[in-house]
Structure 1
Amino acid sequence: MTPTGPDGPPPAASEPAPRTPLARLAELHGVAPGYSPSPGRTVAAPDSALVAVLAALGVDASTPDAVGAALALHETATAERLLPPTLVSWGGLAPAALAALPAGTRLRVTTEQGESLTEADRLPPGVHTLHATAPDGRAAETHLVVAPTRLPAPPGRAHGLLVQLYSLLSRRSWGMGDLGDLAELTAWAGRTLGAGFVQVNPLHAAVPGDPTDPSPYRPSSRRFPDPVHLRVEDVPEYPYAEDRDRLAALLERAGRLRDGVLRKGALIDRDAVWDLKREALEAVCAVPLGPGRQAAYDDFLAEEGQALEDHATWCALAEVHGSDWRDWPAALRDPRSRATAGARGELADRVAFHSRLAWLTEAQLARAQRSARDAGMSVGLVHDLAVGVHPDGADAWAQQEYFAADMSVGAPPDAFNARGQDWGLPPWRPDRLAACGYAPYRRLLRALLRHAGALRIDHVMGLFRLWWIPEGQPPTEGTYVRYDAEAMLAVLVLEASRAGALVIGEDLGTVEPGVREALQERGLLGTSVLWFERDWDGDGLPLPPDAWRADCLATATTHDLPSTAARFTGEHVELRDRLGLLTGSLADERAAAATDVREWLALLARLGLLRGPSGGAPASAEEAEIQAVHRFLLRTPARMIGVWLPDTVGDRRPQNLPGTWDEYPNWRLPIADAEGAPVTLEDLAASPRLHALIDVVREDGGPPGAPGGPPEPPSRVP
């Protein structure tokens, strides 16, 4: 998500001490009675927010008597409970909570594989069931998450590309980048550029609309990818579709759509692309599968089970009743109702179509990752997990029991945004997650990691706490709700270790004390962006490279920030001024931006980084500065170095401008050069400017500890 500001001083560690019964009740349920917007300052959460959030957690706090009854009930339940619903074991060691059980308590563990054990120590990784029976007759059955103590470090330093896939058009794509383009990009970047990874935006399924929300961070489903990313011609059944004239006409229309973006300055139109692809895919999916393909598809259906059936059913129902399930006939709002089962039968052909699309998209994702690894990439694809889902979409419908009703996730007011932020995403209920052993979270991670060398977790701080906003209230009237961070991390480490994947946490903005330390302890990498790396506790000047952390993905910018060229030219300030987004005067904003750039350029010059590639003649001043920025990143001990693909050709425009909706074409821009002309994948591959920048990354950035490379990061024992 959009960071609320530079990674400045952390908030005060303590929150206001609860002084009222309502505040005590809230804290017992993980609801913060207040928060710290800045060091040394605390703000109490409104009572109305505490009451509403507790209600969303199934706790009645509407009156003083109700609060008293809820406190008494919680005290009784806690006294009678043997164990919490989920426990964590790091490295197979018995959880500390077991030591507090009454003497003589009998334990039995049923492992994932069905084996029955009488010891809760040295267990294999997995999510097991722990049975406990106390001498007084009390019994408990709890989920036991056994995870490795930490994920291993990346296999040496790697550099890679960061790209929003829709923005990367080739001469074969249908008006937006697709999975065929991604496979081409990984093969070329691995073989020609020596890249170790390619990080993409979330490829989650979108909520269809008129128009569809183009943001990849408000998906219908995080579990299943969006078939709009399919390369239709790469589907094996495509050559056998009967209506060739129809497909030829669609290809011609797709070509006109692509040319409109690349040659006539049109914006990427996801809905127009999908209209063409859906029609083509309906013809392709009418082709019967061969025996081998049918067997593979049957295996996919069996493996995905109820989750896929729910997703495909929602897609089919949305075609009939609209994409907001809350406006459907009442009986269809329940995914388990008899009416829904009947509708699924009536729409069996459409359910089958959407199930087939999920399988085809999964196959092309797998192909893109194979392409990356075949090209020698040490990591391959880095997929992106959005922080939440759209309230109208498939996940919110199918998993209603796990989402907090009438709540939205956002960010509290702070020094950079006095009004706070509302992201419009319903939060998961921490109590329901714990009760089921984090089953939906585990299934989600397993699906995303299936074809990934690494996973980026958007707003990774959400594993610890999220800002809940009651429906109809501004973000200022919300409060934090805590999650069991140890359990969330354990599940994440378990699933990533099973997939042999890295995890990168997006930890920009204000980060609660202790979060980065907890992530590092478990082997998760953070995210460090050049412009935010300053000595916030000291003189505020840019951090020298040896002061950066090693366990991170280091980049010059992100999809939510200005391009590096725009930073150096100050064009990002002019853009915000044209759109009325400046909080101060244009002169003051220009001066602040110029000071920021001047301080960084002074450090780059002092380190001798402002020079031409390989000691040759300097490039243009702009290119020399962008190259110097990347030389700087390579001087840090960061284990991964990310190059924003639009930076390689001097693109001026951000892909997303926070704080705008219709005012700016967020998520709809193709990659463009310094003059604003769209650049195809083929153009990128032939770009001298791109190759000059990548030569800098390859020549100046050997593996940590190598001659001319960055210092060796301190070793950490897994």
Structure 2
Amino acid sequence: MNNPNETERARNAGLCLRWRDAGGRMRAVSPESLRRLLAVVESHGQPTDTGLPAMVVSVAGRPTPLSLPPGEAATTFRLTLENGETMEGALRQFRGRTALPALRVHGYHRLEIGAQATTLAVAPASCPPLSSLVDGEGGRPWALGVQTYGLRMPGDGGIGHFGAVATLSRLAARRGADALAISPAHAMFAARPGQYSPYSPSSRLFLNVLLADPLAVFDTATVHAAMQKNGPAHVEALRKLEDAPLIDWPEATARRYQLLRRLHDERIVPHPPAELAAFRKAGGTALEQHAIFETLHGYFTTRGARGGDWRHWPVAMRQPASPEVARFAAEFAQEVNFHIFTQWLAAKSLAVAANAARAAGMRIGVIADMAVGIDPTGSECWARQQEFLVGASIGAPPDALSPLGQDWGLTTFSPAGLRATGYRAFIETLRAGFAHGGGLRIDHVMAMERLWVIPQGGSSAEGAYLSFPVRDLMPLVALEAERAHAVVIGEDLGTVTPGFRRAAQRHGILGMNVLFFERTAQGAFRPPATWSANAAAFTTTHDLPTVAGWWQGVDLDWREKLGQFAPGTDPASVRAGRETDRTALWSALNVASGAKKTPEKPPATPAGARPVVDGAVGFVASTACPLAVVPMEDMLGLPEQPNLPGTTGGHPNWRRRYPGMAATVLSGADARRRVNRLRTGRGHA
């Protein structure tokens, strides 16, 4: 049994003592797991009721209840708006509590009540609706989904970059696309090229510099000359990397950094541009600390197997503000400067791509992607240790697909740390995501309400759900989305509490409807007209089979090969079930297309998959969803998916490149036909 004191502490900390498993049974968190998780969660402080919090979040037009210090008898408030204007007013009673009256000026303001002061965030009721971003004359919007690293450009050295995003956005815009939804572009580790999953970043505040396009700053002759200086063998190695169907991340990363260092040392160091200095100044302490971390991480990684984890560094180096770190940064100033430069180049490259999308006619532009967590050994956790649950990881509880549960090897915000700092880390993460695009997809958006947290060293089954201040976080998403004039898509696939989707809908956060999951209780595929008007429609996602792969059973082949079927599962019965599902999908596609008679079902072959992919694209385009998103894998009819969840080896996750160059990748007959299906289904002329 749990200790009564621990039970009360757990509730105060937001830890759920019980949870419902995938089979509907209630499970209890073990006392040992509770103790270990409490040690992590409580290390960041606990809620107090001694005064105003660091930030009060309000929704415009609604009264805002306040928690005032005991004995506080203030009856008035003073508000200093962001623009410097001031206003005063009387507090009121709302549902038995002291409250601010309804306010309507959106923004972050200074609130003073008696001797207390805090930041008041006044958010709009919802994120900008799509109707405010697109006019009604060009048809309903549709988007392409792309893995940035998979795009190809001449001379890219084997890794796709933002220059290819710009090129593809112009091509897609001419075909009628209103957005390009790209994979996460968060900062990774320069000294850890073997970690390349875009969902396992070092920091979500900065960018993956491997995606930077040197041509965003330097002319073609300069870049070409820098590549040639390493000799013919280097140039030949680059050519092989560019031609390969899979990315060799360690090799391509090493050669990309060679190019970046040469450009920095030969072109930037002698004549530092004023724009770079301005970027550095605007980035402030956060940018400086990220560059210092990269330098420290590179230094310690070469000095032992444990050097890649800052928690094993000398004590002084674990503290970003220590004098020892400052001395190190001064001694290795040139290396710190290099990492500042690469961030500038990446930011400028992404800005060029986003501007190109809009200039080409996209009404939304680039939709960025925000990962659910960060690597605890990365720069953001090092710089902001009290704002993240360092010492716990996040994942998912055991279910039918993962009987042992999932441990993603990531960590997340500390709820107490968020409150104590006025949600600083959350707001800055949102701003980084909105910085260059017309939208943001939030991975595992349910994390704003609760996340499965696992004690360090424990199994996924030893975890528990941790609650987050969703009533503050959702309005902050709406406020930042309004400022960016951007659409928000929340990845809400999986276990979702009953009220979460309703709350997301109220705040204007679109959900995701994915073809494979839109089924009735009897297994039939739901007609397009019944799909949600509060979600974006997808044929598939990066974690699911492509339509062609699903039809051919490629995903089942992989799962059988890698032993991913649940214990006791008969592969033959799984394949028989897939055949039943093929029949159901083929019927649904033909009914939706208005066919008077359903043609014979195509075989589960590459040729047979072609009309199925065509039908799936047209099906998703015709749904009631306000935005349709088709990944490039389905536009091209590719059989392989970018990522196979639950695998770290055996399957080439995050390594596949698209066939053909970004400038012509949509020019094939299949892609042109599917673009026309999209245009027709979305009502484009």
With normalisation by structure 2, the TM-score equals: 0.89
Whole-angstrom CA distance in 2 between matches of 1:347 and 1:486: 44
2:319 to 312, 331, 334: 334
Q: SS of 2:412's equivalent?
A: coil
Alpha carbons 2:291, 2:337 under 8 Å: kept: yes
- Name 1:451's counterpart in structure 2: 436
Whole-angstrom CA distance in 2 between matches of 1:290 and 1:57: 45
Whole-angstrom CA distance in 1 between matches of 2:402 and 2:63: 44
Cα offset, 1:308, TM superposition: 0.4
Which range moved further: 567-576 or 389-398?
A: 567-576
- Name 2:59's counterpart in structure 1: 90
- Name 1:624's counterpart in structure 2: 611
Spell out, residue by residue over 1:186-230, the C-alpha distance to the aligned partner (whole angstroms, 9 max, x if none).
Answer: 011101x11111111111111245542121100111111111112
- Name 1:185's counterpart in structure 2: 168
Whole-angstrom CA distance in 1 between matches of 2:256 and 2:244: 22
2:177 to 183, 195, 205: 195
Which range moved further: 286-295 or 412-421?
A: 286-295
Whole-angstrom CA distance in 1 between matches of 2:230 and 2:179: 34
Whole-angstrom CA distance in 2 between matches of 1:315 and 1:231: 20
User: Superposed, which structure 2 residues align to 1:196-211 within 5 Å?
Assistant: 196-209=178-191, 211=193
Q: Could you say if the C-alpha distance between residues 32 and 296 of structure 1 is closer, same or farther in structure 2, counting changes exceeding 3 Å?
A: same
Give the letter for the 1:569 counterpart: Q
Find out whether 1:52 has 2:36 as its counterpart.
Answer: yes
- Name 2:126's counterpart in structure 1: 150
- Name 1:493's counterpart in structure 2: 478
Cα offset, 1:38, TM superposition: 3.8
Unmatched runs of 5 consecutive residues or more in structure 1: 1-15, 61-69, 134-138, 613-618, 672-677, 707-718
Which range moved further: 118-127 or 145-154?
A: 118-127
Give the letter for the 1:645 counterpart: M
1:105 to 75, 79, 86: 75
Q: SS of 2:295's equivalent?
A: helix
Q: SS of 2:79's equivalent?
A: strand
Q: Could you say if the C-alpha distance between residues 353 and 40 of structure 1 is closer, same or farther in structure 2, counting changes exceeding 3 Å?
A: closer
Alpha carbons 2:56, 2:120 under 8 Å: kept: yes
- Name 1:3's counterpart in structure 2: none
User: Superposed, which structure 2 residues align to 1:610-649 within 5 Å?
Assistant: 621-649=608-636
Cα offset, 1:26, TM superposition: 1.1
Cα offset, 1:634, TM superposition: 2.3
Q: Could you say if the C-alpha distance between residues 549 and 341 of structure 1 is closer, same or farther in structure 2, counting changes exceeding 3 Å?
A: same
1:424 to 409, 414, 419: 409
- Name 1:319's counterpart in structure 2: 298
User: Superposed, which structure 2 residues align to 1:29-428 within 5 Å?
Assistant: 29-38=13-22, 40-58=24-42, 77-78=48-49, 81-91=50-60, 93-97=62-66, 104-119=74-89, 120=100, 121-133=102-114, 140-154=116-130, 155=134, 157-191=140-174, 193-209=175-191, 211-236=193-218, 239=221, 247-250=227-230, 256-257=236-237, 259-261=239-241, 263=243, 265=245, 267-287=246-266, 294-322=273-301, 323-428=308-413
Give the letter for the 2:201 counterpart: P
Cα offset, 1:246, TM superposition: 5.1
Spell out, residue by residue over 1:434-491, the C-alpha distance to the aligned partner (whole angstroms, 9 max, x if none).
Answer: 1211112212221221110000000000011111100111011111111110211122
Whole-angstrom CA distance in 1 between matches of 2:234 and 2:583: 46
Q: SS of 1:118's equivalent?
A: strand
Q: What fraction of aligned residue pairs are identical, expressed as a percent?
A: 33
Q: SS of 2:675's equivalent?
A: helix
Unmatched runs of 5 consecutive residues or more in structure 2: 90-99, 302-307, 598-605
Alpha carbons 1:145, 1:487 under 8 Å: kept: no
Whole-angstrom CA distance in 2 between matches of 1:238 and 1:603: 50
User: Superposed, which structure 2 residues align to 1:19-30 within 5 Å?
Assistant: 20-30=4-14
Find out whether 1:607 has 2:592 as its counterpart.
Answer: yes
Q: Could you say if the C-alpha distance between residues 379 and 292 of structure 1 is closer, same or farther in structure 2, counting changes exceeding 3 Å?
A: farther
Spell out, residue by residue over 1:504-543, the C-alpha distance to the aligned partner (whole angstroms, 9 max, x if none).
Answer: 10011111111111111011111111001112xx434222
Alpha carbons 1:402, 1:432 under 8 Å: kept: yes
Whole-angstrom CA distance in 2 between matches of 1:656 and 1:189: 24
Q: SS of 1:217's equivalent?
A: coil
- Name 2:506's counterpart in structure 1: 521
- Name 2:519's counterpart in structure 1: 534
Whole-angstrom CA distance in 2 between matches of 1:115 and 1:292: 43
- Name 1:13's counterpart in structure 2: none
Spell out, residue by residue over 1:145-183, the C-alpha distance to the aligned partner (whole angstroms, 9 max, x if none).
Answer: 211111222125211111111111123321121111111
Alpha carbons 1:199, 1:381 under 8 Å: kept: yes
Give the letter for the 1:508 counterpart: L
Cα offset, 1:98, TM superposition: 6.8
Find out whether 1:564 has 2:543 as its counterpart.
Answer: no
Alpha carbons 1:237, 1:285 under 8 Å: kept: no
Alpha carbons 2:214, 2:345 under 8 Å: kept: no
Q: SS of 1:162's equivalent?
A: strand
Cα offset, 1:646, TM superposition: 1.6
Alpha carbons 2:618, 2:674 under 8 Å: kept: no
Q: Report the number of matched residues.
A: 650
Alpha carbons 1:237, 1:289 under 8 Å: kept: no
Spell out, residue by residue over 1:629-673, the C-alpha distance to the aligned partner (whole angstroms, 9 max, x if none).
Answer: 1221122111111111122222111111111112111111112xx
Cα offset, 1:21, TM superposition: 3.7
Alpha carbons 2:51, 2:69 under 8 Å: kept: no
Which range moved further: 468-477 or 483-492?
A: 483-492
- Name 1:691's counterpart in structure 2: 672
Whole-angstrom CA distance in 2 between matches of 1:629 and 1:610: 14
Whole-angstrom CA distance in 2 between matches of 1:539 and 1:245: 63
Whole-angstrom CA distance in 1 between matches of 2:426 and 2:28: 31
Q: SS of 1:669's equivalent?
A: coil
Whole-angstrom CA distance in 2 between matches of 1:575 and 1:290: 49
Alpha carbons 2:109, 2:120 under 8 Å: kept: yes
- Name 1:711's counterpart in structure 2: none
1:475 to 455, 460, 463: 460
Give the letter for the 1:247 counterpart: M
Spell out, residue by residue over 1:354-413, the C-alpha distance to the aligned partner (whole angstroms, 9 max, x if none).
Answer: 111111111110000111001100111111001111111111111112112311011112
Spell out, residue by residue over 1:15-56, the C-alpha distance to the aligned partner (whole angstroms, 9 max, x if none).
Answer: x9x994422321122111111114752111111222222222
Which range moved further: 596-605 or 502-511?
A: 596-605
Q: SS of 1:286's equivalent?
A: helix
- Name 1:710's counterpart in structure 2: none
Q: Could you say if the C-alpha distance between residues 405 and 262 of structure 1 is closer, same or farther in structure 2, counting changes exceeding 3 Å?
A: closer
- Name 1:5's counterpart in structure 2: none
Give the letter for the 1:96 counterpart: P
Q: Could you say if the C-alpha distance between residues 571 and 288 of structure 1 is closer, same or farther in structure 2, counting changes exceeding 3 Å?
A: closer
With normalisation by structure 1, the TM-score equals: 0.85
